[in-house]
Structure 1
Amino acid sequence: MLDIRWIRENAQALDGALAKRGAEPQSQSLIELDEKRRSVVQGMQEMQSRRNAASKEIGAALTQKNAELADKLKAEVAEIKTSLPAAEEEERELTAALNDALSRIPNIPLDDVPVGKDEHDNVVTRVVGEKPRWNHAAKEHFEIGEALGYMDFERAAKLSGSRFTVLTGPLARLERALGQFMLDLHTGEHGYTEVSSPLMVRDEAMYGTGQLPKFAEDLFRTTDGRWLIPTAEVTLTNLVSGEILEQEKLPLRFTALTPSFRSEAGSAGRDTRGMLRQHQFWKCELVSITDAESALDEHERMTACAEEVLKRLGLHFRTMTLCTGDMGFSSRKTYDIEVWLPGQDAYREISSCSVCGDFQGRRMNARYRGKEDKATRFVHTLNGSGTAVGRCLIAVLENYLNEDGSVTIPDVLLPYMGGLKKIERAA
């Protein structure tokens, strides 16, 4: 969430940033709403001040035996007491309206973010590795998985409907191996603390990371009012919600391997075949809580940690800097890591690493204080996939496909596969 005081002082900057994101200007309506709220607050303060003064004047009038003046003052105090509750209710309504309006405003892009409308305006930052060269034809992951006999979409549909998958045998183990490998890498070498956190959260947690109120239709809600997490970013970031942290203990780095749940409300007709866009999928999430000064360096570090997963797996990928029109709601700058999928003859996103400034910290009221500081500042937050397990499984299947239809296990996963070096067709 943006600070209304900053908006009042930087109205043109806000509207310019929103224009870069392809959004309409908002500063005037926000400032007008804030002015109205401030006017009501000022009126309340004046009424309270006058009530206190009149109460003292009543005592003086009674001392002077001026009953007429005392009665007049008493009537004035009574009128103020009658008017105050209505003013207080109006102030509450205006504050709620202002907070709701502010909560729907996206974050301000950093100055070095390329300006553009959509994914076609993203900029290639670096390319790692090379596309595989074979004598045999490439295949899409669902063709490979179904031919092997370990990927079943019909049974998944029988159980849960569309956009679900059942994996069995060595493919189920490969999925598990990928997640375990990612966790071991990030905790053992990259300094992240593993967290096992809830998969269902309250409204406040979703609000804190920016999923609510704007993106409710993209989420799944339980019958008792909780939300299934669309990413462990929600729980990992909200671990510090409402807290004041010591600056010398920052950054905090968390990781978790969890299922993620998304309604995919805005993706009708997209990626309907296979596992690319699912309602439920595993993801290894990375979250950092930092101070303002180290956030940008932490962003580069986090992206490198996610890239290392693909390097160890021997997968070709490119890292993109997202343009202003393609960035997420809470992000100030985002790197998308896109892995090469031979079956699609295309790059597809497998990780998205974002620095959010104090946008989420303000929503969560999460702050930090330096040793010599009396005042506190809002924490800066970062999040990224390290990486999406299902899409990594897809990439391994398509990049390690052999001519006979079998799939070779990448060397780095062999310790997790119980001696299996190759996935072959089920007998």
Structure 2
Amino acid sequence: MKRLNVAVLGCGVVGSQVVRLLLEHAGDLEARVGAPISLAGVAVRRTEVSRDVEVPAGLLTTDAAALVAREDVDLVVEVIGGIEPARSLILAALENGASVVTANKALLAEDGPTLFEAAAKADRDLYFEAAVAGAIPILRPLRESLAGDRVTRVLGIVNGTTNFILDRMDTSGAGFEEALEEAQELGYAEADPTADIEGFDAAAKAAILASLAFHSRVTAADVHREGIADVTAADIASASQMGSVVKLLAIAELAATTSSAETAGVSVRVHPAMIPRSHPLASVREAFNAVYVESDAAGQLMFYGPGAGGAPTASAVLGDLVTVARNRLGDTRGAGESAYADRVVLPMGETMTRYHLAVDVDDRAGVLAEIATAFAEEDVSIQTLRQEGRGADAQLVVVSHEATDAQLSRTVERLRGLSCVREVSSVMRVEGMAD
């Protein structure tokens, strides 16, 4: 039988687990692929660093470029992360005839088309299940299982760090800083958590999900992004009072464009939102991830599981590796990029959503009329309105019906300009609530 040689780029949290699974499950992998899978080399920055897995002598190298250029390397696994040198190494591997498995969400979200074009030109596979939601199989269902269906919406919790923080704020009453500190102590958050709490990580994943779901090229720069740093304990409490929880959501959906109601564009956004506790995503706790898919024929589907970590992510990598290896033996390729729809990405202002507002107001006659007029002037209708407190503590809590984000934003600015409004103390979008 032909032996397939695998080069692994990176031996950190994920890479070390990929190496471990390749070595420990060699017999099973051979049976599943139909040929022996051999570890040809592992590229690292420094060979002397202590690692969680013992790499066989002679396989560690600091020359990643030379490793991917070897003629005997059939498959390359890239788990370095970042843009460079990962991009150059993947392109070199494809050009040299190797198929590639990557977990690099940032690179795919920034420059995926370049990689897909290189893979098509080389007639080789480029698989990336591990780039979104760790061990959860979501990209292949979008790419293959639902290829005959029309996906209309993808709604997901795709960042475990932010979900842990918001879950702690909801269940224990902790403030943001306290919950973040606990996440860091438990290893769920990095020392510098910016990529997570500011939504960059989720935005990259949202771009990949939208590209696959709607057969269009979507980059991270196309994604409207807001993080969770401004979510307060008051926001969490207000959500609880209306039977909801706050989650950082990645949302990609088909939506009519303002230029043509018959032409569907794509809305892609990441932001905190209130969702009813009855929604399936509301029960996703701690650092877990989940992706909720809506389609014409299949209806509503949810994919749930660990969204990060070395072993779960390595599981997704190995799943791709087995498929790519089988394709290599059969001299065939799996699905490549599908961007035929070429849908326009809508600006956030055209996106249909609804707002939850907490407005500190004067406690006097006529205030409700002034507030209602501000909404009416922007053609935004009010779903619910309640007053909390009296006197100096008077506050109106308003949930709107659906309107464009631009209409709702203008409404907020109108409210801030009213003499009866002391402060608009909270603005948060609401998802999953019926009219």
How high is the TM-score relative to the length of structure 2? 0.20
Q: Which structure is richer in relative contact order (CA contacts within 8 A, separation 6 or more)?
A: 1
Greater percentage in strand: 2
Please state which structure has a larger fraction of its residues in helix: 1
TM-score normalized by the length of structure 1: 0.21
